[in-house]
A and B are shown apart, each in its own frame.
Chain A
Amino acid sequence: MKLSGNKARVFMTKEFTENLRTKKIFALVCVFVFIALLSVLTARFMGEIFGAMLGAEGTNVPFTIIMPDPVWTDSYAQLYSNLAEMGSIIFIVLFMGAILREKSSGTIDLMMAKGLSATAFVMAKFGVAAILTLGALAVAVFVTYVYTLLLFDYGGQLGNIVFGALPFAVFILMTLALTLMWSAIAKSTAISAVLGFVSFTVVRLLDLLPRIGRFMPGRLLAHGVALSSGGDVDYLPIHIAGAVVITIVSLWVTVYVLRHREG
């Protein structure tokens, strides 16, 4: 067991090096920071942006749009909305080939012939992808906090802001586990990408189901604003538990697939 843990650590170091040298870390952090800056700007100047668009020369709008005054929580609403859309696409794209590439190139064979177990392989892949993505999320939330403080003169209570990021972090871990699972199952990057996006969409659509939708883990994406402003949300433990179950099952399936592959 000790040896297996050591091999997992060695492989995690390799994964960090790979993500560093292939610039994935920079791509992820840059995109998340860009989303953070864009979210605060959009929240602060949404009224002006709409006003400029509607008042532009040649437009003749026969109605009036009344925009509420922007408030600091709008920054976090924009952040989590944008991260759910753009951010998720980016990290699915970055990690959809994580296992597939090793399978198709055969590098996984050399690693496993050195005694690296399927469990250690998957946990190292998942662990590093999780650390990088959660790190990028932490940077994005911090940038949002600072920029909101600058533009709104108040960025919220730091403790609440951190707690507000928790549901999204859990959602990211679940999506990463699903992405890795498809990467292990799929025979091509295109199929892995399609399956990744389909499962991501299905998870999000499940919370629209009548009666049971409110218990689905897709609701995690909606909790950021309420928790960031110190409010309460319904069924949070159930949503987290659902996401954790999907994460564990996805990782188990990934390990199973690698153990039983006939490469």
Chain B
Amino acid sequence: MNYAVRTQGLTKQYKTTLAVNNIDLAIPKGCCCGFLGKNGAGKTTTLRMLVGLKRPTNGKISIMGQEQVFGVQSSLPFGYLPDVPSFYGYMTGEEFLDLSGKLCNIPTAERKARVKSLLKQVDLSKTRARISGYSRGMKQRLGIAQAMINNPQVIFMDEPVSALDPIGRRDVVEIIRSFSDTTVIFSTHILSDVEDLCDFVLIIEKGKIMAQDYMANLKEKHATGTAIIRFLNQDDAVAFRALAAGGGLAPEDRPNPTELLLHAKSGDVQELSKAVTSMLHSGGIAMEYFGAHTPSLEDIFYEAIGK
């Protein structure tokens, strides 16, 4: 399998704190990877080691198959957006992108075209103001543009939406969604953003990777053998509850009073389905919906970090 990012034994030890503990990452090319963890779990430290801003205590890093050695600058196949991007306030957005392009050794004609296209993509092409006059959201969009200036194959973003208002957040999410052919790795503690945008998930807790897989695989792994049944009215739900309790299913209430949560004794939802069908038939009760209960990312996250 081709990986965009691989690490082996990546570790960061501060004097008394083990911030990142011997992690092996394997992030496939082309995915949108949500890097989840609580505050202080080690997300930012990991990202900063990956982009060469922090010296690893131990371990190897490879990005797009190219080994990254701390302090050795090569042609960088990635872009990076820090959690709070800062710019030179006396410059315009266009000037800052031009500076970024020059540092990436992009030839003049190509650079100018790229700057123009990126400003348009992040909706800053009509702004002539200096960056000191930008809003938080505008700065974040400029931050994304500068991370994309070298047309990177991998882009790392540290909490790109956490500090934004709803409109700024929506704008940035749409920009991230628009990336194609680029591996996006963004850290966050907002689970809904990952569920919305990502197909690959990393969960870190106390510097250790607790889960690392495609979202679909994680959901399958964490499926709990439960199902939800919904009735046409509350009376049917009450009647079925009594039947199910007699059949040893111990249904649980859901926030919606016409729904019940059922647990398969063997963990097999197909077995559960057969038992339910039989009970509905014997009780003469009609149902509206029956389906296996897929765990949410929140369920997976809490299970992974052991809460």
Binding site for B on A (CB under 8 A): 3-4, 6-7, 10-11, 14, 17-18, 21-22, 105-107, 109-118, 259-260, 262-263
Interface of chain B residues 37 through 71 with chain A (CB within 8 A): 51-55, 71
Partner of A115, one of B76, B85, B88: B76
In the bound complex, how far is the Cα of B269 from the Cα of A47, in angstroms? 106
Partner of B54, one of A107, A115, A262: A262
Asked if A22 meets B90 with Cβ closer than 8 Å, knowing A113-B51, A117-B73, A260-B55, the reply is: yes
**Could you tell me if B87 and A115 are in contact, using CB atoms closer than 8 angstroms?**
no
Q: Please report whether the interface of chain A is mostly helix, strand, loop or mixed according to DSSP.
A: helix
Q: Please report whether the interface of chain B is mostly helix, strand, loop or mixed according to DSSP.
A: loop
Partner of B103, one of A11, A21, A259: A11
**Nearest CB in chain A to that of B80: its residue:** A113
The answer to whether the Cβ of B99 comes within 8 Å of any Cβ in the partner chain is: yes
**Could you tell me if A263 and B53 are in contact, using CB atoms closer than 8 angstroms?**
yes
The answer to whether the Cβ of B233 comes within 8 Å of any Cβ in the partner chain is: no
Contacts of A109 in B (CB 8 A): 53, 80, 82
In this complex, the interface size class of chain B, counting residues with CB under 8 Å from chain A, is 20 to 34
Q: Could you list 16 examples of A-B contacts with CB < 8 Å?
A: A4-B73, A6-B105, A7-B103, A10-B99, A10-B103, A14-B88, A22-B90, A107-B88, A110-B100, A111-B103, A112-B52, A112-B53, A113-B53, A114-B150, A116-B73, A260-B55
In the bound complex, how far is the Cα of B75 from the Cα of A65, in angstroms? 72
**Nearest CB in chain B to that of A9: its residue:** B102
**Could you tell me if A110 and B82 are in contact, using CB atoms closer than 8 angstroms?**
yes
In the bound complex, how far is the Cα of B146 from the Cα of A107, in angstroms? 12
Asked if A114 meets B82 with Cβ closer than 8 Å, knowing A4-B73, A262-B54, the reply is: no
Residue with the greatest number of chain B CB neighbours at <10 A, chosen from A111, A115, A117, A260: A115
**Could you tell me if B73 and A110 are in contact, using CB atoms closer than 8 angstroms?**
no
**Could you tell me if A106 and B88 are in contact, using CB atoms closer than 8 angstroms?**
no
The answer to whether the Cβ of B216 comes within 8 Å of any Cβ in the partner chain is: no
Contacts of B74 in A (CB 8 A): 115
Contacts of A4 in B (CB 8 A): 73
Contacts of A22 in B (CB 8 A): 90
The answer to whether the Cβ of B8 comes within 8 Å of any Cβ in the partner chain is: no
Contacts of A18 in B (CB 8 A): 88, 90
Contacts of B71 in A (CB 8 A): 117-118, 259
The answer to whether the Cβ of B151 comes within 8 Å of any Cβ in the partner chain is: no
The answer to whether the Cβ of B86 comes within 8 Å of any Cβ in the partner chain is: yes
**Nearest CB in chain A to that of B12: its residue:** A262
Contacts of A6 in B (CB 8 A): 105
**Could you tell me if A14 and B99 are in contact, using CB atoms closer than 8 angstroms?**
yes
Partner of B85, one of A7, A14, A106: A106
In the bound complex, how far is the Cα of B90 from the Cα of A17, in angstroms? 9
Give the Cβ gap from B58 to chain A, nearest Cβ, in Å: 15
**Could you tell me if A115 and B73 are in contact, using CB atoms closer than 8 angstroms?**
yes
The answer to whether the Cβ of B239 comes within 8 Å of any Cβ in the partner chain is: no
In the bound complex, how far is the Cα of B303 from the Cα of A35, in angstroms? 71
In the bound complex, how far is the Cα of B71 from the Cα of A116, in angstroms? 10
Complex A-B, nearest 7 residue pairs according to Cβ-Cβ distance, in ascending order: A114-B103, A105-B86, A115-B73, A113-B80, A106-B86, A10-B102, A21-B90
**Could you tell me if A113 and B87 are in contact, using CB atoms closer than 8 angstroms?**
no
The answer to whether the Cβ of B104 comes within 8 Å of any Cβ in the partner chain is: yes
Contacts of A263 in B (CB 8 A): 53-54
In the bound complex, how far is the Cα of B102 from the Cα of A18, in angstroms? 16
Give the Cβ gap from A165 to chain B, nearest Cβ, in Å: 32
Contacts of A112 in B (CB 8 A): 52-53
Give the Cβ gap from A9 to chain B, nearest Cβ, in Å: 9
The answer to whether the Cβ of B289 comes within 8 Å of any Cβ in the partner chain is: no
The answer to whether the Cβ of B129 comes within 8 Å of any Cβ in the partner chain is: no
The answer to whether the Cβ of B14 comes within 8 Å of any Cβ in the partner chain is: yes
Contacts of A117 in B (CB 8 A): 71, 73
Residue with the greatest number of chain B CB neighbours at <10 A, chosen from A11, A113, A259: A113
